[in-house]
C-alpha cells in the first residue's frame, strides 16, 4: 500500500467524525511515531510531514554518515557506501535524509497502525462526547426510543448518541414504543472504560423543575424562582415558588387559568398530582401551606428537633395525610420538618412511640409512613382502611388496636 493510498483512507475519518484538521494531524503523527518506534526502536530522528486535506504523507529518516564498518546505531548512522547509493558525493560526518515508505514497515505493521488510528479517534470522540454531555447534566433533553430492554430503554439523539433511561428512573406509568420521543434530564454521565454512559431520568425532582422553566415564561425569565421541589414520581409532587415582584402571583402564574399552564407538565409526568405553593420564611405559614389541600387550625414547632405538630379538624386529617401518606410525607420533605398530624381536642393523645415496649418498632414505623403517629390517629381509622394503607396484616392491626384501647380505658 502506497503512502498516498493509506493517507486517503485515513482522511475518511475526518469526514465521518468531523475532527478538526489540527487534531487529526496530531493523532496521525502520534500513530505513525508509535509505528516507527516499534520498527526502528526510536523515532527522534524521523520527520513526519502530513497534509490530510490533500492526502499527502512523507516520512524522512535522518542519519549521520560514518565510515564503512563503523556503524554502531543503524537507526542513527549509515555507512559511507550506503549513503553514496543515495547521493554519490556524500562524505563521512554529513547528514543523510532518506524517505521511508510505509510499505517498508510491513503489512502487519500497517494493519496495526490503522487499528491504532481507529482506537485513537474513538478515544478522542468519547472524550469529546463525555465533555459535551457532562455540561448538560441537569438539563432537559429529548431522544428517540431505539431499543426497549427489561431494565432500561435505549434512546438515540439526532447525532446518534446513545442515552440510557434505566427502569428505576422511569415514571411507573411510562410506556414507550420504538420511535417515541422521550423527554427527561441528563441525570449523570460516567466513563465506563473509554466509553461514556449517558443516563437520563424522568423521576428526578430536577426534571419537574426544568419542565417549569420550559413551560412557564416567568420561571424561565427569572421573575419566579423555584425554591424547592419534592416528588413521589407518578403520584404526587409539591413545588414551592417565590417572586421578588409583588405584582406577580407566583402560584397563579405557574398554574394558569383553570390549570392551563400546568396541564402540559401534569400530562408529561403521567398525571402526577402537583401542588404549587407560595414559599415564605414564616415557618408556621410554610408548613401550613405545605400540608395543603388540608386546612390547618394551628401549628406547634420544635425547631431544635425539626419537628412540627399540626392541629386540624377531624374532617381535614385525611386530606393532610393524603392517599398512602403521600401528602404528609412530601410536606415534611419540602419543609425539612417531621410533621405529626393531630385532631382538634386530641391534645391528650399518646404517641405510638410510647408503646414501643408492647408494639414492635417496625410496626410503629409502618403506621408512621402513612402519617399515623399517635394512638388516637390509629383508633379513629377503619380496620379495612388500615389494611389497605399499610403493609400490615389484619391480625397485627387488631392486636395494635387492642393495646391502644387498653391504654385509654385505663
Q: Domain coordinates of the chain in residue numbers?
A: 3-132, 136-201, 206-352, 353-410
Residue among 328, 341, 336, 359 at smallest CA distance from 297? 341
Question: Residues 311, 301: contact at Cβ < 8 Å?
Answer: no
| Average pLDDT for the chain | 85
pLDDT, mean of residues 194-222: 93
Residue 222 phi, psi (nearest 5): 85, 5
Which pLDDT score is estimated for 46? 85
Per-residue pLDDT tens over the stretch 187-205: 999 877 778 899 999 999 9
Which pLDDT score is estimated for 291? 95
| Level-2 CATH architecture, domain 136-201 | Beta Barrel (2.40)
How far, in Å, CA of 117 to CA of 148, rounded? 33
Residue among 280, 279, 308 at smallest CA distance from 296? 308
**Which of 153-157, 173-177, 320-324, 372-376 bottoms out in mean pLDDT, i.e. has the lowest?**
372-376
Residue among 306, 368, 303 at smallest CA distance from 341? 368
Report helix, strand or coil for 90: coil
Question: Residues 63, 56: contact at Cβ < 8 Å?
Answer: no
Alpha-helical (H) ranges within 139-232 are 205-215, 217-220
Residue among 340, 333, 200, 217 at smallest CA distance from 275? 333
How far, in Å, CA of 81 to CA of 262, rounded? 88
For residue 408, the number of C-alpha atoms closer than 13 Å in the C-beta half-sphere is: 18
Q: Does domain 206-352 have CATH number 3.30.300.20?
A: yes
pLDDT band (50, 70, 90) for residue 2: very low
pLDDT band (50, 70, 90) for residue 370: confident
Which pLDDT score is estimated for 346? 53
Which pLDDT score is estimated for 115? 72
pLDDT, mean of residues 194-217: 93
Give the list of residues 6+ apart from residue 327 with CB closer than 8 angstroms, or none: 236, 291, 294, 319, 320, 321, 371
Q: Is the peptide bond before 293 cis (omega within 30 degrees of 0)?
A: yes
CATH code matching the domain that covers 3-132, chosen among 3.30.1480, 3.40.5, 1.20.120, 1.10.10:
3.30.1480
Percentage above 70 pLDDT, the chain: 88
Amino acid at each position: 500500500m502506497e503512502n498516498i493510498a493509506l493517507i486517503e483512507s485515513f482522511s475518511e475519518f475526518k469526514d465521518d467524525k468531523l475532527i478538526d484538521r489540527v487534531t487529526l494531524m496530531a493523532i496521525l503523527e502520534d500513530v505513525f511515531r508509535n509505528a516507527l518506534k516499534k520498527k526502528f526502536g526510536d523515532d527522534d530522528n524521523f520527520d513526519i510531514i502530513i497534509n490530510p486535506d490533500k492526502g499527502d504523507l512523507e516520512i524522512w529518516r535522518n542519519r549521520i554518515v560514518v565510515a564503512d564498518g563503523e556503524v554502531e546505531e543503524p537507526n542513527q548512522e549509515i555507512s559511507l557506501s550506503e549513503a553514496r547509493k543515495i547521493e554519490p558525493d556524500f562524505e563521512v560526518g554529513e547528514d543523510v535524509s532518506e524517505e521511508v515508505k510505509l510499505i517498508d514497515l510491513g503489512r502487519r505493521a500497517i494493519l496495526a497502525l490503522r487499528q491504532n488510528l481507529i482506537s485513537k479517534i474513538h478515544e478522542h470522540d468519547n472524550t469529546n462526547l463525555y465533555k459535551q454531555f457532562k455540561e448538560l447534566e441537569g438539563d432537559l433533553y429529548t431522544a428517540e426510543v431505539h431499543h426497549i430492554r427489561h431494565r432500561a430503554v435505549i434512546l438515540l439523539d439526532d447525532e446518534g448518541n446513545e442515552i440510557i433511561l434505566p427502569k428505576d428512573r422511569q415514571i411507573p406509568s411510562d410506556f414507550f414504543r420504538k420511535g417515541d420521543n422521550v423527554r427527561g434530564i441528563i441525570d449523570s454521565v460516567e466513563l465506563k472504560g473509554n466509553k461514556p454512559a449517558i443516563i437520563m431520568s424522568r423521576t428526578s425532582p430536577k426534571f419537574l423543575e426544568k419542565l417549569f422553566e420550559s413551560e412557564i415564561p416567568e420561571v424561565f425569565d427569572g421573575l419566579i424562582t423555584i425554591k424547592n421541589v419534592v416528588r413521589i414520581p407518578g403520584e404526587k409532587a409539591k413545588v414551592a415558588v417565590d417572586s421578588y415582584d409583588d405584582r406577580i402571583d407566583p402560584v397563579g402564574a405557574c398554574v394558569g387559568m383553570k390549570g392551563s399552564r400546568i396541564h402540559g407538565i401534569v400530562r408529561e409526568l403521567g398525571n402526577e398530582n402537583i401542588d404549587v405553593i407560595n414559599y415564605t420564611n414564616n415557618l408556621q405559614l410554610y408548613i401550613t401551606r405545605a400540608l395543603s389541600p388540608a386546612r390547618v387550625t394551628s401549628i406547634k414547632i420544635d425547631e431544635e428537633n425539626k419537628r412540627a405538630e399540626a392541629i386540624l379538624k377531624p374532617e381535614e386529617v385525611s386530606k393532610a395525610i393524603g392517599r398512602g401518606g403521600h401528602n404528609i410525607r412530601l410536606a415534611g420533605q419540602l419543609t425539612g420538618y417531621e410533621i405529626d398530624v393531630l385532631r382538634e381536642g386530641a391534645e391528650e393523645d399518646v404517641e405510638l412511640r410510647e408503646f414501643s415496649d408492647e408494639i414492635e418498632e417496625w410496626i410503629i414505623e409502618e403506621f408512621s409512613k402513612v402519617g399515623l403517629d399517635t394512638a388516637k390517629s390509629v383508633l379513629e381509622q377503619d380496620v379495612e382502611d388500615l389494611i389497605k394503607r399499610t403493609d400490615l396484616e389484619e391480625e397485627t392491626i387488631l392486636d395494635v388496636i387492642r393495646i391502644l384501647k387498653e391504654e385509654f380505658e385505663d
